[in-house]
Chain A
Amino acid sequence: MLCLFAVLLSPAMVYAHGAEIEYTVASSIEIVAKYDSGEPMAEAQVTVYAPDDPSTPWLTGECDDDGRFAFTPDMSKPGTWDIQVRQAGHGDMIHIEIEKGSVIGGSSSGYSTGQIVLMTVCVIWGIIGTALYFRRGKA
């Protein structure tokens, strides 16, 4: 069983002699992996797959002693990110949807853009034609 928390890294400035370090705020994802018994999957193997290449690991690592693992996904790769956790013959996978901004790609109706445009034109043409028919009748 895997639990998910989204964590924003807190901003920080660090100054040292002769150096300047800047920071950026990024959205990271933290998972918590536990066995069914509630025991954390300490040092479990983690493999992260990005949506543009589901066959090739994008990132690998290990959970800490509390079964936690955090990473920052590439926000330029929207879609489903898959995170696999394995240890001692047990494993599971969770799936996290990442959206690019607020835009959701694709058509929910299942029609292509061309088909939608044509249907719209046909409806408009039908309305105009019907209006002209009744207008001609009155004249």
Chain B
Amino acid sequence: MKKWAALVVALALTAGFLIVGCSDNGDDDNTKVGTLEFKANGEDFVRHGFVSKDGWSITFDHVYITLSNITAYQTDPPYDAHQGGQIDGKAEVKLDGIHTVDLAEGDETAAPIFVGDVRDAATGHYNSISWKMDKATSGPSAGYSLVMMGMAEKDSQVEDFTIKLDAVCGYSCGEYIGDERKGILSEGSTADLEMTFHFDHLFGDAGIPADDELNLGALGFEALLAMPEGGDPDMDMAELHLGHVGEGHCECD
């Protein structure tokens, strides 16, 4: 009798061990997936044009920017781009490849530019993103990370320009700041993240005071036009703050 009791107990424990030990703990959402889209946006500065800090009225025909190592993260605690450092995400989604997009594509009402998507991204809140502004390997901007083509007018002067920069910079960013939250992905749905580029930080903006911090740090049109092809080797992309997430901050290194 004792042997039968011991056998029953042993079998019960074994069965319980197999059932409970092989079950998930309720925290694993990897089986729930959706589509995460990545977009790039030059905002109205590119779509509508603007007046640079040195008085040139600029419109763009093309703004080719090349992006690689695009990765979205779920971070907890949320990544602080002001402090910088490596992004430590509990979940990551990588968009493979090198992508060159034209931020000036479309008309003045154009939506942010689609870069790519990942269709089996784990659900959750992607509140951080990183990417590299990289050199294109082919196409109209081959060899350069940023190629801007357009027209600038000042007084009676008209300048058709092509500005080519080959600076490479890795951006690490926190959560998108804008009219709506982004990156909240639920099962079977689609969410998006945006890499935003503030070209007023390159050219300055005549619509704000000349002594504003933005204008003091911007290069201006004439300085960019005068640069050798590829850009000034001493130009520090980190100081120009080109990359953002909406209005949110990114660290560049």
Contact = CB atoms under 8 A, between A and B. Distances in A.
Given A36-B213, A111-B25, A118-B21, A90 B181 contact: no
A33 B74 CA distance: 25
B174 interface: yes
Nearest to B249: A92
A39 B150 CA distance: 36
A35 to B, nearest CB: 8
Contact of A89 (B24, B77, B174, B198): B198
- Counting contact residues on chain B (CB < 8 A from A), the size range is 20 to 34
B221 to A, nearest CB: 19
B213 A112 contact: no
A27 interface: no
B82 A1 contact: yes
A110 B25 contact: yes
Interface stretch (B12-20, B54-62, B96-104, B224-232): B12-20
B84 interface: no
A37 B213 CA distance: 8
A49 B177 contact: no
Contacts of B248: 91-93
A125 B177 contact: no
Nearest to A84: B177
A115 B78 CA distance: 30
Contacts of A35: 213
B183 to A, nearest CB: 10
A2 to B, nearest CB: 10
Interface in A25-66: 35-37, 49, 54-55
Nearest to A45: B179
A115 B21 contact: yes
B27 A122 contact: no
B65 to A, nearest CB: 19
Nearest to A112: B25
Contacts of B247: 86, 89-91
A115 B25 contact: yes
Given A54-B184, A91-B246, 8 more contacts: A84-B177, A86-B177, A89-B198, A89-B247, A91-B248, A93-B175, A112-B23, A114-B23
